[in-house]
Amino acid sequence: MAKVSAAGLGQLRQQLTGLALKGAEAAADTLREKLSGGGGGAQYAGQPNRSSREGEYPAEQTGRLRDSMDARQAGEMRAEFGSIIDPPEYVADLHFKAPEEGGRPFMDDALYDQDVHRAVREAVGVK
């Protein structure tokens, strides 16, 4: 059985923490792209873009949600991404309201989005 030194284990933890952050940053970048531009819904007066339809990511109207997306270290060998930088006051309602009531569970969607998965795999060097 191989022995691992404390220094070697510490170095491995540091490397894995860096990889986790790279993956979360890639996920945040992809999500920012998904939150840019209009949707396939109605065009409302005073809004720059068409609204999103049920099942779509929220359409960009002010850019505040898109701009709030980021990633950060979340402890040893962990990272997280989402609406981290000055989250808009409406973000919880938007995410948790039922889709038929105008809610857009964008973080749930991101968990299953193959584009997000692909970006994370590429960022951490997994094929």
pLDDT of residue 87: 96
> Is residue 26 over pLDDT 90?
yes
pLDDT bracket for residue 1 (50, 70, 90): confident
Confidence band of 8 (pLDDT split at 50, 70, 90): confident
Within the chain, residue ranges assigned H as helices are: 6-34, 64-68, 91-96, 106-112, 114-124
pLDDT band at 4 (very low <50, low <70, confident <90, very high): confident
Q: What is the pLDDT of residue 3?
A: 83
DSSP 64: H
pTM of the model: 0.91
Separation between Cα atoms, residue 35 and residue 28, nearest integer Å? 10
* Nearest of 56, 76, 77, 65 to residue 28 by alpha carbon: 65
Each residue's pLDDT tens digit, 64-103: 999 999 999 999 999 999 999 999 999 999 999 999 899 9
- Per residue in 32-60, pLDDT (tens digit) is 999 999 999 999 999 999 999 999 999 99
Residue 6's pLDDT band, with cuts at 50, 70 and 90, is confident
